[in-house]
Amino acid sequence: MAAWPATMVLTCAVATGRTTQRDGTIRHSRRKVLRAGALLALGGAVAPLAGCDPFGPDDPAPGPDPLAPLVDEALALAGAYRDAAAAHPALADRLAPIAETHAAHAAELARIARVTLPSASAAPASAAPAADPDTALAALRERETTARDTATRACVAAPAERAALLASVAAARATHLEALR
Amino acid sequence: MSTPTPTPTPTTGGAAAALGAALAAEYAAIWAYGPIGVRLTDAARKAARDAEAAHRRRRDELVLQLSTGGGQVPADRAGYALPFPVTDRAGALRLAVEVEERTAAYWRAAVAATTGADRERALAALVDCAVRATRWRRTAGTTPLTVPYPGRPA
pLDDT, tens digit, 9 for 90 and up, residues B84-100? 999 999 999 999 999 99
Contacting residues of A for B21, CB less than 8 Å apart: 8, 16
Q: A92 at the B interface (CB within 8 A)?
A: no
The model's pLDDT over B27-83, given as tens digits with 9 standing for 90+, comes to 999 999 999 999 999 999 999 999 999 999 999 999 999 999 877 899 999 889 999
On whether the CB atoms of residues A33 and A27 are closer than 8 A, the answer is no
Q: State whether B81 and A168 contact (CB < 8 Å).
A: no
Q: What is the pLDDT of residue A121?
A: 56
Counting one residue from chain A and one from chain B, the pairs whose CB atoms sit within 8 A come to 159
Q: What is the ipTM of this complex?
A: 0.91
A178–B152 CB contact, under 8 Å? no
Strands (E), chain A: 5-6, 8-9
Distance of CA B78 to the CA centre of its chain: 18
What pLDDT, on a 0 to 100 scale, did the predictor assign at position B125? 98
Q: CB–CB of A5/B28 below 8 Å?
A: yes
Q: Domains in chain B and their CATH numbers?
A: 14-140 (1.20.1260.10)
Nearest-CB residue to B146 (from A21, A98, A170): A98
**Shortest Cα distance from B87 to chain A (angstroms)?**
18
User: A5: which strand partners?
Assistant: A8
On chain A, the residues whose CB falls within 8 A of the CB of B133 are 175
Per-residue pLDDT of chain A (181 residues; tens, 9 = 90+): 443 444 444 433 333 333 333 333 344 444 444 444 443 333 333 334 444 444 444 555 578 899 999 999 999 999 999 999 999 999 999 999 999 999 999 999 999 999 988 776 555 566 789 999 999 999 999 999 999 999 999 999 999 999 999 999 999 999 999 999 9
Q: Is the peptide bond before B144 cis (omega within 30 degrees of 0)?
A: yes
Q: Which residues 138-157 of A have a C-beta within 8 angstroms of B?
A: 152, 155-156
Q: Are B111 and A155 in contact (CB under 8 A)?
A: yes
User: Would you tell me how many other CB atoms lie within 10 Å of the CB of residue A112?
Assistant: 15
Q: What's the confidence (pLDDT) of residue B72?
A: 82
- Chain-chain contact of B148 with A10 (C-beta, under 8 angstroms): no
Is the dihedral angle over the CA atoms A50, A53, A59, A63 positive or is it negative? negative
Which of B99, B107, B134, B135 has the highest number of chain A CBs within 10 A, making it the mutation to test binding with A?
Answer: B134
Confidence of residue B9 (pLDDT cuts 50, 70, 90): low
Share of chain A above pLDDT 70, in %: 62
Count of alpha carbons within 13 angstroms of residue A135, beta-carbon side: 7
pLDDT (tens digit, 9 = 90+) per residue, B105-126?
Answer: 999 999 999 999 999 999 999 9
pLDDT of residue A44: 36
- Measure in Å the smallest separation between the Cα of A28 and chain B Cα atoms: 14
Cross-chain residue pair A4–B83, CB shorter than 8 Å: yes
